[in-house]
A and B are shown apart, each in its own frame.
Chain A
Amino acid sequence: DAGVTQSPTHLIKTRGQQVTLRCSPKSGHDTVSWYQQALGQGPQFIFQYYEEEERQRGNFPDRFSGHQFPNYSSELNVNALLLGDSALYLCASSLEGQGAGKAFFGQGTRLTVV
């Protein structure tokens, strides 16, 4: 049983460009959350998707957007990249209603903006 898979593992983009990160949740999970982990910081909640809708959003600008597909996989899009967007982006999946502490994290995508 594959866990949470994220792609790509690393990528480098230039300021002003746009990027798309992908996440496949653990089998049986229907909820996907995205976190940004800047260097030397803990992960910060970006947003969560359930039933293909954004359910809640953290303190991130509209440049950050997402999507969830019918198969529960998800994409995180970041437009007009800034140097400060360089971070490890983590995806976490869970099953709605399953309760606390049941989220599984992926290995992350390391984004470097130059």
Chain B
Amino acid sequence: AQSVTQPDIHITVSEGASLELRCNYSYGATPYLFWYVQSPGQGLQLLLKYFSGDTLVQGIKGFEAEFKRSQSSFNLRKPSVHWSDAAEYFCAVGGLTSGTYKYIFGTGTRLKVLA
């Protein structure tokens, strides 16, 4: 079965510290992988995506993620967190199923940033 696991429900970091959000997936084929960010009361904003090629992908707002096939992981990183990064982060796997392209999301990681 296709699934996405985000093992950390909450993470708290200090402003300026580095960040890593974990994501593991289960998918039958080569996955398309995504990270989205959601601020309170808002929709989803795409941070970055991986389709193929270089396993280290760069996104917006200084985020990057690394695809590791052997570990079925797609962890999100940022070298220095800003207070405005406080939000909820969702990892998702996307694929074509019966002619329909849809996303399967993890349960999210809520990031709190301490001043």
* Interface, chain A (partner B; CB < 8 A): 4, 33, 35, 40-45, 48, 55-56, 58, 90, 92, 94, 99-101, 103, 105-108, 110
Contacts and interface: CB of A to CB of B under 8 A. Distances in A.
A62 to B, nearest CB: 19
Contacts of A58: 102
Contacts of B32: 100-101
A108 to B, nearest CB: 5
A45 B106 contact: no
Interface stretch (B13-21, B42-50, B69-77, B78-86): B42-50
Contacts of B90: 42-43
6 contacts: A41-B107, A42-B107, A44-B105, A48-B100, A101-B49, A107-B42
Given A48-B100, A100-B32, A105-B36, 6 more contacts: A48-B102, A58-B102, A92-B103, A101-B34, A103-B101, A103-B103
B105 A101 contact: no
B26 to A, nearest CB: 15
Contacts of B36: 105
B51 to A, nearest CB: 6
